[in-house]
Every structure is written in C-alpha cells, then in structure tokens.
Amino acid sequence: MNATQHNPPGDIRIGLWGPPGSGKTTFLGALYIAATRHVGPYKWFMTGMDDPSEKFLMESVRLMTHERAFPVASEAPARLGFRFTGHRMVKKRNAVGMPVERSEVVEFVLDVLDVPGRLFSGTGAGAAADPDFSPGGLASASPRNHEEEQLLDHLLHCQGIVYLFDPKRDKESRDAYYFFQPVLARLARHVLTTHRQVNGHLPQRVAVCVNKFDEEDVYTEAKRYVVQDAHRPHMPRVPDARAAEFFQRLCADPRSNSDLVDLALRNHFRELNYFVTSSIGFYLADGRFRPTGERNIEVKDGKERILGQVHPINVLEPLLWLHDVVRKQEKW
C-alpha cells in the first residue's frame, strides 16, 4: 500500500550577499542543476514561481549547459522565487502492523533578490563608476538609493542569508571587508532600532560559502581538508566541520582586513554554518574526478567558457541547511 505525506511548503526568504563578481548570479543559475544532480535521502527538483523566475532558470541552464557560458551579470535587482520539492520513500508500519511504503514530500519556497554587486559597497566602487550612487545614504531619493533600500529591506526580512566569499578575488583585491561592512552596519542598525535582535544577535541565519573551490589556487589551499564523495563522480568536498577553519585561514592574510569579516559574522549572527562551494565544479575528463583538480573553464578568444559538464558542489546544501534550521525554530 502506498500513501503520500505532504508537508505544507514553508516560505523561506533567503538573501544573497557578497562582493561584485563573487558568483551570486551563477550560484542561483546553478541551483537547478544542483537539485537535479543531488545525491541524498531526498530527490529534489526546482521550479520557478512566476514567469520571470522560470525564464531566469531556463536561460541560465541553457547558458551553462548549451552555450557553456556564465549567466549574464545582473544590471538591476531581480526578485526571483523558486519552489524546491523533495521526495523520498519511507518504510513504515500501518495501524495493524503491516509494512507500508510511504512517499514523503517536503517543499520550500526560496525568495531571493539578486542585485548588482555595486550595491554592497555603499561608499566605493559603485560611487566611482556611477554618479547616481549615493555614498552610504539612505536619505536621498535617487533611483540608486531606492535599489539600496530594496536590498536592505530584503536582507532585513530574510530568515537566511547566503554569504559568498570569493578567495580568488580577495587574494587580488583584498576588499571583502570593504563590501561587507556597510551592509552589516545598516542591517545591525535597523534590527536594533526595530528591536528584532535575538539574544543580542541579528536574527538571520548565515550560510558562509567559500566559493570558486574549483579554482586552482583555492583547491590547492583546500587540499588538506578535502575528502572525496564515495559515489561517482567522486567529487572533492571540504566537510562542513572543517570549512569554518578553511574560511578563517583564507581570511587571515595579514595584508587584508578579511579577518574582520570572519569576526564580525561570528559576533553579529546567532547561527552560522560554513560551506566550500563551486557552482560549476571540476572538469571530469572520464566521468570521474581526478585529484589533480582539473579546471572546468577554458579561455577562448579572451572569453571564459565552461569546459565540460556542470557539477555544482555544495550549492543546494546551504539552502537545505538554512531551510532546516529555520523550520526547526518555533517562532520567527
């Protein structure tokens, strides 16, 4: 006998936070493939909640698989909604002790705002390139200011935040803190003035993602923490318990202030988890990962193209963790 148990979908608002180019749009675009490839107790699939979200999904999947290109940069904030549906078969006994197989369905809705990276600085890169960008101000009513407010309002009402740290960029520009601090300062002010703090902390849960794991330098640094999946294609993974240590190591460059990102995250937020992620994964020459860690990007006519299959690493997992911790809390 079969039965289906449907848990009502929980709406969960998740924000994406990270400096320009840290991979936010690509991360979102890779989610559909990540859900399809996911190996775990639940089988997952992802659908768009409305036409623009479905269009974004189809377009990013087409780009990443057929065109072998990265999703195009976000020009204006895009509000997107996706539904994740997971199902698994569980063996149970019915009221009279007979074994029954039951299909268990879990659903959650992800509501994200994908914004151009310049909005995160509040004072800098955006301002230099863009006269409309008002330094740190929520006071004037310029269009740019409206976008900043939209971002702040979204993050304020998120239960979860995916924070993307880009070790490749940070090695060169060392500006993670520069893009991090203005957003944190505004978030903290609004949470405190509206008395929404929880035990002195900001209420959002944060999944800290060290992104672009597939890049040669990042993989080389991560090697000491890496274990390989037992199942094909035996992708490398930094276990969550060691990902925090890896993040701290990356932030500890004495020439940068990125250690302040690590400290401030831990001081401000009540619950954090760490992931080492890649939206595209490594190149699999013969269907399995080789420990040399081949890069899944080729450069043709000066343009970066994805070389082979897209195998996202730890892209769905931060959302599943956020969904889990938010669902477990009784009251938001």
Ligand X SMILES: Nc1nc2c(ncn2[C@@H]2O[C@H](COP(=O)(O)OP(=O)(O)O)[C@@H](O)[C@H]2O)c(=O)[nH]1
Q: Give, as ranges, the residues between 69 and 128 that touch Mg ion (CB under 5 A).
A: 74
* CA 192 from centroid of its chain's CA atoms: 26
DSSP conformation letters of 127-165: HHH-TTPPTT-SSS--HHHHHHHHHHHHHHT-SEEEEEE
117 binds ligand X (CB under 6 A): yes
User: Closer CB to Mg ion, residue 80 or residue 310?
Assistant: 80
Strand 297-300 versus strand 227-228 pairing type: unpaired
Q: What is the Cα–Cα distance from 242 to 248, expressed in whole angstroms?
A: 10
- Residue 161 φ then ψ, to 5°: -130, 135
26 binds ligand X (CB under 6 A): yes
Given 13, 17, 20, 206, the residue binding ligand X (CB under 6 A): 20
Q: What is the Cα–Cα distance from 297 to 280, expressed in whole angstroms?
A: 9
279 binds Mg ion (CB under 5 A): no
Q: How far is the CB of 20 from Mg ion (least distance, A)?
A: 7
Q: What is the Cα–Cα distance from 160 to 180, expressed in whole angstroms?
A: 16
256 binds ligand X (CB under 6 A): no
Q: How far is the CB of 30 from Mg ion (least distance, A)?
A: 13
Cβ pair 159, 14 in contact under 8 A: yes
Q: How far is the CB of 70 from Mg ion (least distance, A)?
A: 10
Q: Which of 9, 179, 192 is nearest to 105 (CA)?
A: 9
Given 111, 215, 262, 317, the residue binding ligand X (CB under 6 A): 215
Taking residues 15 to 54 in sequence order and writing x for each that binds Mg ion by CB under 5 A, - otherwise, the string is: ---------xx-----------------------------
- 229-233: Cβ within 8 A, 24+ apart: 229/39, 231/39, 232/287, 232/288, 233/284, 233/287, 233/288, 233/289, 233/311
Dihedral of the CA atoms 131, 132, 134, 138 (nearest 10)? 180
User: Closer CB to ligand X, residue 75 or residue 330?
Assistant: 75
Q: Give, as ranges, the residues between 53 and 72 that touch ligand X (CB under 6 A).
A: 70
Please calculate the CA angle 192-198-202 and round it to the nearest 5 degrees.
55
Given 111, 148, 175, 214, the residue binding ligand X (CB under 6 A): 214
317 binds ligand X (CB under 6 A): no
Q: Could you tell me which stretch among 40-48, 208-216, 240-248, 257-265 binds ligand X (CB under 6 A)?
A: 208-216
The listed partner (ligand X, Mg ion, none) that binds 215, CB under 5 to 8 Å by sort, is ligand X
Residues found near ligand X in the complex (CB under 6 A): 18, 20-26, 70, 73-74, 117, 212, 214-215, 278-280, 297, 304
Residues found near Mg ion in the complex (CB under 5 A): 24-25, 74
